[in-house]
Amino acid sequence: MAERSDYLAHQFVDPIQQEQSSTLGMWVFLATEVLFFGGLFAAYTVYRFQFPEVFQHASHHLSVLLGTINTGVLLTSSLTMALAIHSAQTGHRRQLMAFLIITMVLGIGFMVVKGCEYHKDYVEHLVPGHSFAFDARYMPQAQMFFVLYFLMTGLHAVHVTVGIGVIGVFLILSLKGRFTPEYHTPLEIGGLYWHFVDIVWIFLYPLLYLVGHHR
């Protein structure tokens, strides 16, 4: 048996078993997250089947350009997160910190673009409620599209914010030299969360922005 080190909790046989248990636990949590978002995706699917035309018209009020840029930003941030873990595995601490910072900046960039979009929606009276204004032919169902849009992107934005915070903690920990090629499980687990948030967006993007053709 390997020598017991300070990062190996006493209930585990070896670091490999400890790492596998953490990963398994994180995926159980991610499965609950899939279903957490799943309720909204199910609601979306039901309404889209019932009002396909309305959803198409409502979707055209969103900016495909901004949505596409944000998808690119999040996909890139997933790459930099994967490279950050790669740096930890190969023992490059400065490189690890650089990739964590880039990932955070991309996450913040995503939130800034999202904020600009929300502002645009607000100005165009697309926020559901008293001031909601839309082509009378597609009312009131058009409002449902925007209820789902704000709930889904809003819940996703909360997750991105949490992810940025988690990566910030990792940055402080790597500054203290806590991650080594032998032990960097927290990075792997946090990385899973970040990639999961990316996957949610991978589905939100076509469902909200790419509904039918644009002129």
State which of residues 13, 31, 133, 172 lies at the interface with other proteins (CB under 8 A). 31
Structure tokens that stand for 51 in this block: 């009002």
Task: Confirm or reject binding of residue 49 to other proteins (CB under 8 A).
Answer: yes
- DSSP three-state, residue 89: helix
C-beta of residue 148 within 8 angstroms of C-beta of residue 40: yes
For other proteins, the closer CB: 16 or 172: 16
Shortest reach from residue 130's CB to other proteins, in Å = 29
State which of residues 4, 9, 13, 50 lies at the interface with other proteins (CB under 8 A). 50
Residue with tokens 């997933």: 78
> By rule CB under 8 A, what count of residues binds other proteins?
53
For other proteins, the closer CB: 176 or 213: 213
When computed from its CA atoms, the radius of gyration of the chain, rounded to whole angstroms, is 21
Q: How many angstroms separate the CA atoms of 203 and 155, rounded? A: 14
State which of residues 78, 103, 143, 153 lies at the interface with other proteins (CB under 8 A). 78
Is 214 exposed, middle or buried, given 0-12, 13-18 or 19+ CB atoms closer than 10 A?
exposed
Q: Give whole-number Cα distances, 170 to 27, 66, 97, 186, in Å.
A: 20, 29, 9, 8
State which of residues 7, 12, 63, 79 lies at the interface with other proteins (CB under 8 A). 79
Task: Confirm or reject binding of residue 91 to other proteins (CB under 8 A).
Answer: no
Distance of alpha carbon 209 from the chain centroid: 16
Distance of alpha carbon 157 from the chain centroid: 7
Task: Confirm or reject binding of residue 35 to other proteins (CB under 8 A).
Answer: yes
State which of residues 16, 112, 133, 172 lies at the interface with other proteins (CB under 8 A). 16
Residues at the contact surface with other proteins, assessed by CB under 8 A? 15-16, 19-20, 23-24, 27-28, 30-32, 34-35, 38-39, 41-42, 45-46, 49-50, 64, 68, 71-72, 75-76, 78-79, 81-83, 86, 89-90, 185, 188, 191-192, 195-196, 198-199, 202-203, 205-206, 209-214
